């Protein structure tokens, strides 16, 4: 069962944020191969302009990554859609862990499609602003925590799905261990000359990996900031 929620936008759903602008973004994502209508509906429903600096709000519905300060970016809508779609391909999800809250945009998309979202962010300042946004948008099923993503959220494990929004040099075994058997981990992996998006399913006797193509992400760092 998919858990649809309608976002309360407060005073944010105005001007260039019209549904026409968002419709065009969703059409572009369809053209680029996003097939899951649930994911497209969540993107249509989410005020991406609220997650970027006001100076960049006119570019919020372009299919491009944008800077959010502190050396971080809000991911390109296509990659958010692709990762969410890959996660949902594993079946209905009740409990998902997101590693790297960032602007909070990916969390907001997930919150409309799964029962509970647990998200961790190592940069305290980013976490503070995304928490405020979750409250404004009444996304009360997002639980956010200041923590090193490499260690996940052990006290809430196991998860049906885990989504990592930064590129690691290896698959963190600590995260795989926090998956249910049959659960999926979707993450970019740094392979030296390029990054590949992987979907890793935890099985009874190990894991199965599917390569979803080349991507570009900020690196996954350790420790708190």
Cis before residue 131, ω within 30 degrees of 0?
Answer: no
pLDDT reading at 15 higher than 60:
no
Tell me which range, 56-60, 145-149, 163-167, 180-184, is most confidently predicted by mean pLDDT. Answer: 180-184
Is residue 130 annotated as part of the catalytic site, yes or no?
A: no
The domain ranges of the chain are 65-215
The residue-averaged pLDDT of 42-47 equals 93
**Collapsing DSSP states into helix, strand and coil, what is residue 45?**
helix
Section 92-96 average pLDDT:
92
163-220 pLDDT, tens digit per residue, is 998 888 999 899 999 999 999 999 999 888 899 999 999 999 989 999 999 888 766 6
Domain 65-215 fold: Rossmann fold (3.40.50)
Q: Given a cut of 70, is residue 18 above it in pLDDT?
A: no
More confident residue, 72 or 28: 28
Share of the chain above pLDDT 70, in %: 88
Out of 11, 27, 75, 130, pick the active-site residue: 75
Q: What is the mean pLDDT of the chain?
A: 87
Residue 123 CA: distances (Å) to CA of 13, 18, 129, 154: 28, 31, 11, 19
Find out whether 149 and 166 touch, Cβ atoms under 8 Å: yes
């Amino acid at each position: 069962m998919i858990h649809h929620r309608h976002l309360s936008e407060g005073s944010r759903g105005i001007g260039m944020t019209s549904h026409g602008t968002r419709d065009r973004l969703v059409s572009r994502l369809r053209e680029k191969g996003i097939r899951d209508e649930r994911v497209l509906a969540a993107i249509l429903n989410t005020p991406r302009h609220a997650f970027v600096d006001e100076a960049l709000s006119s570019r919020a519905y372009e299919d491009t990554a944008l800077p959010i300060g502190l050396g971080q970016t809000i991911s390109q809508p296509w990659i958010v859609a692709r990762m969410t779609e890959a996660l949902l391909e594993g079946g209905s999800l009740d409990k998902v862990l997101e590693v790297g809250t960032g602007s909070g945009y990916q969390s907001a998309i997930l919150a409309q499609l799964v029962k509970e979202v647990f998200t961790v962010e190592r940069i305290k300042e980013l976490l503070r602003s995304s928490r405020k946004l979750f409250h404004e948008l009444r996304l009360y099923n997002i639980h956010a925590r200041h923590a090193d993503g490499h260690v996940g959220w052990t006290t809430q494990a196991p998860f049906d799905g885990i989504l990592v929004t930064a590129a690691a040099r290896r698959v963190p075994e600590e995260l795989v261990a926090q998956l249910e058997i049959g659960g999926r981990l979707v993450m970019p992996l740094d392979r030296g000359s390029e990054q590949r998006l992987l979907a890793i399913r935890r099985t009874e006797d190990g894991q199965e990996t599917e390569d979803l193509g080349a991507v570009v992400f900020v690196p996954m760092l350790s420790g708190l900031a």
